[in-house]
Amino acid sequence: MIAVTYFVVVLSAALAGAQTATSSASSFKITAEISLDDYWNEMVGPVSVAAVNTTVSPTPVASSELIPPPTLHYPAFPTGQEIPAMSKNESWKFPKDFWWGVSSAAYQVEGAVKDEGRGPSIWDVLTHRATNYVSLNETGDIADNQYYLYKQDIARIAALGVKVYSFSISWSRVFPFGSGQVNEQALRHYDDVIQSCYDAGVEPALTLYHWDLPLGLMNKYNGWLDEQIVDDFVAYAEVAFKRWGQKVQKWYTVNEPIVFCQEYPYPVGYWKSTSIAPKDQQFYCGHHVLLAHARAYHLAKSLGVKGTVAFKNNGGYKIPLTNSSADAEAVQRAWDFNEGWFADPIYLTGDYPATVKEHVSSLGLKFTDEQKRMIKGTADHFAHDAYTSQFYMAPDDGLESCISNSSNPLYPSCANTTYTYPAVDGGWNATDWVPQFLRYIQQKWKPKGGIVVSEFGFSEPFEALKTIRADIQFDFVRSQYYHDYMRAILMAIAEGTNVVGCLAWSLVDNLEWAQGYTVKFGMQYVNLTTQERYYKASFFEYVNAFKVYQEK
Ligand code: PNW
């Protein structure tokens, strides 16, 4: 228990009445001291607490667990055999130094949201207060309770021979209000998570920001919409780099800026209001992310941080619907406004792709020459969360009419798209296009240090409705996905694409953001009542790819 800490915060009228989604006509500013407890009570209210709230020592994983769960649907796994009998393709291999692992993010797995001095993040408000924001009003209050069960989680992945565990640090644990006073207890917690990884023979990879913005910064200046976040992020990164920079070899600054910037506009009334038009907010966010990332990168280098520093980009392969030149142009705009928005500045020019630049500079957001020089080259490899592939095409009424009409729903990218079926129903549909996708990344952004598929994974349709554990564990469709995805990476490597690592999402079922626990991405089932973990068949399928194809 830490002593009650008081922080000076700026309160405005909008958040004094933050329980409802009404925005106030007038606002006032006061500077006040508030305890962390009172801040929680005002902004979030009561939270659920797990039965287990001290760090648990790992219990050894029983050898009976280390064989795949029995098949329910077809007899392809003879008893005791890990995969269907299948011949090896001798022209494929993962090089010896190819690194692979599993991933998670703080708010999705940790729980213990109020413990040991953690301050609230925007996700505590989104789950507790925002009306209809999260399916079934589920929260991350307890989640997988990994805050206390990490030794068990690490032991379970180590038992399967997993090499890397990629997780994120909770900014509002380190800085309960986002800036100001550091919470030493949080640092000690992550010291032990990191050390526990090494003790188990698993290498930790750290992400500094996986969407859980400290609420204090959202209340103070709308988070990523304001340039002040750059200094605050760099101050946070500095604490992490100084603490773990000589130990941790793999660093990511931010996870998927496209996704979290497009999360703006957040529902109004829960935090400071903004006059930035809803559709423009993502570009303010992106601008500040690029500056924050780049400064953090240079800071890491100047502090002598060992290993690699990059950010996790995301997106999907873009397939032109037809061979028309309009669809080709739409595809290019889609790359520009997705991957290229962050990748062109960081890997190529220090600045946005021309199409994006035209739009962003119309908002008054421009990088100076010095900033461009600072941004360019700030990633030691290309980390891509590569889940999907989609068809793209020009809008029905043509590209030009969209580009000249800011009220067109597709503006400003103006690329129209279609999924075969929605992501929550398993429609990520990526594996066929993975080799082309990875080759595109290599040819377009020419990353030094190669490509890491920093997340990929699959939600089985309707898995959350299953009630029989054996049925849940035999995740045939996800297994097929991992089977195909691994072969797609092998194919890419065989074609000469420099893929150096991959991280499967996710080691356990967890809080899938606005979809709560209704959508499952885990390679382990978690009984959320008992917090017991059970390997699913897909985990064995994933691991097996390395058993068969990685050079010893
Ligand atoms: C990732 N896309 O989000 C996140 O990093 C995870 O936190 C999340 O749980 C996981 O994927 C599964 O959804 C993505 O549209 C969101 O390409 C969107 C895309 C990719 C990843």
In the prediction, which pLDDT does 16 show? 42
pLDDT of residue 178: 98
82 is catalytic: no
**Closest atom of ligand 1 relative to the 512 alpha carbon:** 9
Q: Hey, whose CA ends up nearest to atom 2 of ligand 1?
A: 315
More confident residue, 127 or 432: 127
Lowest-confidence pick of 146-155, 252-261, 381-390, 439-448: 381-390
Q: pLDDT band for position 418 (50/70/90)?
A: confident
Residue 191 lies in a domain: no
Q: Which pLDDT band holds residue 2 (cuts at 50, 70, 90)? A: very low
Q: Is residue 398 part of a domain?
A: no
Give the range among 30-34, 170-174, 432-436 with minimum mean pLDDT: 30-34
Residue 358 lies in a domain: no
Band of the pLDDT at 465, cuts 50, 70, 90? very high
Q: 203-234 as b/e, with b when 16 or more CB fall inside 10 Å?
A: bbbbbbbbbbbbbbbbbbbbbbbbeebbebbb
Ligand 1 nearest-atom number relative to CA 105:
7
Task: Give percent of the chain with pLDDT exceeding 70.
Answer: 90
- Distance from the CA of 387 to the center of ligand 1, in angstroms? 8
Going from the Cα of 314 to the center of ligand 1, the distance in angstroms, rounded, reads: 8
Q: For position 461, what pLDDT does the model report?
A: 86
Boundaries of domain holding 11: 1-34
Rounded to the nearest angstrom, the distance between the alpha carbon of 36 and the centre of ligand 1 is 31
Report yes or no on 26 lying in a domain.
Answer: yes
Confidence of residue 18 (pLDDT cuts 50, 70, 90): very low
Q: Can you tell me the mean pLDDT for 399-419?
A: 94
N- to C-terminal Cα separation, the chain: 47
Q: How far is CA 520 from CA 323, 461, 472, 507, in A?
A: 36, 9, 10, 11
In the prediction, which pLDDT does 296 show?
99
455, 460, 463, 512: which one is catalytic? 455
Query: What is the pLDDT at residue 233?
Result: 99
**Amino acid letter for position 474:** F
Pocket of ligand 1 contains residue 166 by CB under 6 Å? no
Name the residue with higher pLDDT: 171 or 81: 171
What 125-132 contacts at long range (C-beta under 8 Å, 24+ apart), as own/partner pairs, is 125/18, 125/43, 125/44, 125/215, 125/270, 125/271, 126/266, 126/267, 126/270, 126/514, 128/44, 128/45, 128/47, 129/18, 129/19, 129/43, 129/44, 129/45, 129/270, 130/21, 130/267, 130/270, 131/21, 131/267
Ligand 1 within 6 A of 39 CB? no
Report residue 171's pLDDT band, with 50, 70 and 90 as the boundaries. very high
Candidates 170, 513, 515: which one to mutate for ligand 1, based on the most atoms within 8 Å of Cβ?
Answer: 513
SS3 category, 101:
strand
The per-residue pLDDT for 26 is 60
Q: How far is the CA of 260 from the centre of ligand 1 (A)?
A: 10
Confidence of residue 429 (pLDDT cuts 50, 70, 90): low
Token pair belonging to 21: 């989604």
Which residue's CA is minimally distant from atom 18 of ligand 1? 259
339 labelled catalytic:
no
Whether the pTM exceeds 0.85: the reply is yes
DSSP class of residue 475 equals -
Rounded percentage of the chain residues whose pLDDT exceeds 90: 84
Using CA of residue 244, residue 172, residue 378, residue 194, what is the dihedral sign? positive
Asked if the structure places residue 18 within a domain, the reply is yes
**Alpha-carbon distance 235 to 503, whole Å?**
28
Mean pLDDT of the chain: 92
The pLDDT of residue 51: 96
Residue-wise pLDDT for 468-492, tens only, equals 999 999 998 899 899 999 999 999 9
Using 50, 70 and 90 to split pLDDT, how confident is the model at 19?
very low
Within a 13 Å sphere around the CA of 473, how many CA atoms are in the beta-carbon half? 18
Q: What is the pLDDT of residues 70-121, one digit of tens each?
A: 666 555 555 555 555 567 899 999 999 999 999 999 999 999 999 999 999 9
What does the DSSP assignment read for 52-81? --SPPPPPPPPGGGGSPPPPSS---S-TT-
Pocket of ligand 1 contains residue 456 by CB under 6 Å: no
Residue 6 lies in a domain: yes
Q: What angle do CA 378, 379, 384 make, to 5 degrees?
A: 140
| CA 6 to centroid of ligand 1, rounded, Å | 36
Residue 496 lies in a domain: no
Q: Is the CB of 387 under 6 A from ligand 1?
A: yes
Let me know if residue 15 belongs to a domain. yes
The residues near 458 (Cβ < 8 Å, ≥ 6 apart) are 426, 428, 477, 478, 481, 482, 521, 538
Domain count, the chain: 1
Pair 166, 194: CB distance under 8 Å: no
pLDDT bucket at 31, cuts 50 / 70 / 90: confident
To the nearest 10°, report the CA torsion of 302, 307, 311, 316. Answer: 150
Our answer on whether the CB atom of 110 is closer than 6 Å to any ligand 1 atom is no
Q: Does 521 sit in the ligand 1 pocket, CB within 6 Å?
A: yes
Averaged over 230-246, what is the pLDDT?
A: 98
**Lowest model confidence (mean pLDDT) among 62-71, 425-434, 459-468, 543-552:** 425-434
Environment class of residue 453 by beta-carbon count within 10 Å: exposed (0-12), middle (13-18) or buried (19+)?
Answer: buried
Q: Would you tell me how many other CB atoms lie within 10 Å of the CB of residue 290?
A: 27
pLDDT score of 17 more than 60: no
Give residue 14's pLDDT. 41
Asked if the peptide bond before residue 265 counts as cis, ω within 30 degrees of 0, the response is yes
Element of type H or E holding 388: strand 382-393
Q: What is the pLDDT of residue 88?
A: 87
If you measure from the C-alpha of residue 32 to the centroid of ligand 1, how many angstroms do you get, rounded to a whole number?
A: 38
